[in-house]
Structure 1
Amino acid sequence: MRRGAVELDVPLAARPGQVIGVLGPNGGGKTTSVLALAGVLPLGEGHVRVGAEVWDDGRRRLAPEQRRVGLMLADSLLFPHLRAVDNIAYGPRSRGLDRRRARARALDELERVGLVDRATARPAELSSGQQARVALARALATDPALLLLDEPLSALDPDTRARTRSDLAARLTAYAGVTVLVTHDPLDALTLADHLVFIENGRVTQAGTPAEVLSEPRSPYVGTVVGLNLYAAQGDSHGHVHTAGGGLLVTTAPTEGSVWATVAPSAVSLHRHEPEGSARNAWRLRIASLTLQGQSARVGLVGTLPLTAEVTLESVTALGLQVGQHVWAAVKATEVRTYPQ
C-alpha cells in the first residue's frame, strides 16, 4: 500500500499471546502499518487476517468499528467528563453490553491494572501514568483480538514511564490476543516484545527475537537502536575488515566476503596519544558529540572510522574530553565481531 511518498510492503505474522515490537525511523511506515491493521487505511494488495477472520483482502474490507481491535496511543484520549470506570465501560456499552455488565467489566479491568481504588476519579484527577493504565484497560475491555499500541509511553516522564512499562508488561502477559507495539524506545521494545520487526522506507529490514537482533543487527538503524557500532564491510581470511566508508578493522575471528562488523561502545578506549600495547585497531578521531548517561558518557567520534565510545565520567575528566578535540580511539582485535550479510 502507499501513503504519501511511502510505499509500504510489510509482512507481519504473530501467534496468539505474542507481542510484536515494531521499530523504525520517522517516516518509515510504522504508523501506516497500524492504521492499515485498524482499518483506517485500505490495503492496495495483501491481506489482514486475524484468527479465522479476514479483515481486508484488497477487495472486501471491514470498517474499523467492525474489527475486534483495541487501540492505545501516546495521548490517552480519555473522555474528560467521565470517571475512569465509565471511560472503560464506554467500549463494552458501544458494543451492546448493558450498563451493569459493562460496569462490571470495567471494574475488572481496573483491578487488573491496579486502579480499582481510582474508579470514580476523572482524568484530571489522575496522574499521567494512571491515565495511561486507564487507557490500556479501556483498550482491553472490549476483548479485542488485536491490540495496537502506538507509542503508548512516549508522553510520560522517565520515572513514570519505567513504572508504567512494568505495569503494561504484567497486563500483556495475561492478554490472549496479539499485540502490536510501535515504539521509538529500544527499552520499551526489548522489555515488552518477544519478537521485533524493523521497518525502514516501507520495508522490513530485520525481524527476530530480541536476543537475535541484539546479537546480529543488520542495518545501521538497528545497530543504533541496540547500541552497537555497525559497519557494512568486506572481510578476508587474514582478519582484515574493510568498511564501506574506507575504514579498516582487524579481527581475530575473520569472516570472508560481505559482512557486518560490530564493535561495542564499551570496548572502545580513548587516549590522548597514540596507544601502545595489545590493541591492533587505533585511529585518531575527532569528538563530534559528548552525552552523559548516568555514571558514563557516550562519545561520538568522526574521522577514518565513525565510532561511538562509552567511557566513565572519570575518563571524561581525566582526558579533558570536549567536542572538537582530537583523541586516539583503540579497540582490541578480539572485540571486533563479524558475521555474513
Structure 2
Amino acid sequence: MTAVHARIHVSRPGFDLDVPLSVASGETTAIMGPSGAGKSTFLDALAGLVPLTDGRIVLDEEEVSTPRFQLAPARRGTVLLGQDPHLFPHLSARENVAFGPRAAGTPARMARGMAEEWLARVGLADAGKRRPADLSGGQQQRVAIARALAASPRLVLLDEPLTSLDPVTADGIRALLAEHLVGRTCVLVTHDAVDAVAFADRVAVVEAGRLTQEGAVRDVLGAPATAFVASLAGLNRVVGAAAAGGVRVDGALIEGRGDLRGAPEGAAVFRPGDVRIVGDGAYGSWSTRVVRVEPTIAGARVHTATGGIAVDVSLDELAARGLGAGAEVTLSVDAACVRLLPA
C-alpha cells in the first residue's frame, strides 16, 4: 500500500491548477468539482501524463515528479482507468488482463492463470476467450477493472469510470469497485456524490483550480463550504449577514442551530424537502418569487429568488398552487432543520 503526498501545480494559458493533496496508505480519496476545475488534469499529473509547472509528487518516499524530473508513467506502479476501457481490440479478455503481469515479468502461463482468477472475481469467468468487440460496455469495463487490478498497482486512479454506463450496470460496477478497492490506495475523480459515499474515505473539492474543501466524505457533504458542494449534497446553502439565531438574506431571517457569534456572515444549510409553502404572515416566513421549476423523480423542485432557495413539492401541490415561474410564494423552514455555519 502506498501513501501519496503531492502539490500539483499545472499552468498553461487560460488554466491554472494548484492543489495540495495527501492520501493515506490504503485510503480512497474522491476528487470532486465542476467541469473545467482541473480534476482530470490532477489525475493525469499523478499518472505522469502531465508535467508539473511547480510542486512535487511523492509516492511513499519516492519522488516521482518535480518541474525538473518526471518518472515515466510505466515505472510509477500506477494504473489509470477512465470512462473508456481502452482494451486492446486484438486481444482476448484473458490476454488483456494478463498484459500487466506479463509486462512486469510474470511468466505467460502464470499471468494467464492470474487473469482467469481476476475475470472470475469480476463475474466474467466464461469470457476469457472473447474479444472486446464481443462484450457489452459493462463487460468491457469489468475487464478493464480486472486488468487494472491484476497489475498489482501501488496507486489506482479512477477518472469517472461509471459515467458512460447505464444505471443498472453502473450499480454493479460500483459494488465491484467498492469490494476490490478495500485496502488499496486510490484517487477517484467523480461528479456523483453516490460514488464518493460508496468508495471514498475522504473527499477533496476542487473549484477553479483550487482546493475549496477537504475532509471525511459525510462531514464535507453535511457541512458544505461552497454552493457547489451544497448542490452535490442536494442541500440549500444560503449565505447572508449573521443575526441572532440565524442568517438574514434579502430581508428574510432564516433561523437555525449553530453559533455564529463574532462572524459577520453565516450560511444556513437545509434540505429542500424541509422547506414549506405557507400562508402569508406565518411566523418565521418570508415572501419570494418562483424563478424556475425543475422536474424530479418524486415531484418537482421549485427554485426561488431569495438566496436561490429550492423547495421540494409533490406534483399535486405544484398543480394546486400554480407554481410556475413568476409565482409569488411564502416559505418557512423549521429552525431545527437548519444548520448554521460560518460563511
Identity of aligned residues (%): 39
Aligned to 2:84: 75
Report the CA distance between 1:323 and its aligned residue. Answer: 4.1
* Residue 179 (structure 2) aligns with: 170
In structure 2, the partner of 1:274 is: 280
Q: Name segments (4+ residues, structure 1) moved above 4 Å.
A: none
How far has the Cα of 1:226 moved from its partner? 0.7
Does the CA contact (< 8 Å) of 1:251 and 1:335 recur in 2? no
Deviations 1:291-339, CA, capped at 9 Å, x for gaps: 222x3332222x2331111223332343343344333332223333212
Measure the CA separation in 2 of the matches of 1:100 and 1:198.
44
> Comparing 153-162 with 108-117, which one deviates more in the overlay?
108-117
Q: TM-score, normalised by structure 1?
A: 0.90
CA offset digits 1:108-150 (Å, max 9, x no partner):
2212222222222222222222211111111112111111100
Distance across 2 between alignment mates of 1:205 and 1:196:
11
1:144 and 1:247, CA in 2 relative to 1: closer, same or farther beyond 3 A?
Answer: farther
1:198 partner SS: strand
Question: How many aligned positions are there?
Answer: 331
1:157 aligns with 2:166: yes
Q: 2:165 aligns to what SS in structure 1?
A: coil
User: Separation in 1 of the partners of 2:150 and 2:41?
Assistant: 25
How far apart in 2 are the matches of 1:297 and 1:67?
48
For 1:178-327, list aligned pairs within 5 A.
Answer: 178-236=185-243, 238-243=244-249, 246-253=250-257, 255-256=260-261, 257=263, 258-271=265-278, 273-274=279-280, 276=282, 279-293=283-297, 295-301=298-304, 303-327=305-329
Q: Is the contact made by 1:281 and 1:333 (CA closer than 8 Å) also made in structure 2?
A: no
Distance apart, 1:247 and its partner CA = 4.9
Residue 328 of structure 1: SS of its match in structure 2?
A: strand
Spell out, residue by residue over 1:257-308, the C-alpha distance to the aligned partner (whole angstroms, 9 max, x if none).
132221211111235x5363xx513222214122222x3332222x233111
What is aligned with 1:335? Answer: 337
Per-residue CA shift, 1:153-212, capped at 9, x if unaligned? 000112211222111111112xx4311100111111121111000001111100011121
Aligned Cα RMSD in Å? 1.9
- Corresponding residue for 2:3? none
Runs (5+) with no aligned partner, structure 1: none
| Residues 191 and 314 of structure 1, relative CA distance in 2, 3 Å threshold | farther
Q: Which moved more, 1:59-68 or 1:191-200?
A: 59-68
- Whole-angstrom distance in 1 between the partners of 2:300 and 2:135: 36
Give SS of 1:207's match.
strand
TM-score (norm 2): 0.90
Indicate whether 1:107 and 2:124 are aligned: no
Matches of 1:326 and 1:57 in 2, distance apart? 57
2:239 and 2:307 in contact (8 A); partners too: no
Task: Return the alpha-carbon distance in structure 1 between the equivalents of residues 326 and 115 of structure 2.
Answer: 57
- Partner AA of 2:202 in structure 1: H
Residue 252 to residue 82, structure 1, CA distance change in 2 (3 Å)? closer
Distance 1:252 1:232, change over 3 A: closer
- Matching residue's letter, 2:194: L
Larger mean Cα displacement after TM superposition, 221-230 or 49-58 = 49-58
Structure 2, unaligned stretches of length 5 or more?
A: 1-9
Alpha-carbon distance change, 20 to 320 in structure 1, aligned in 2, over 3 angstroms? same
Q: For residue 223 of structure 1, what is the amino acid of its counterpart?
A: A
CA distance 1:194–1:275, change in 2 (3 Å): farther
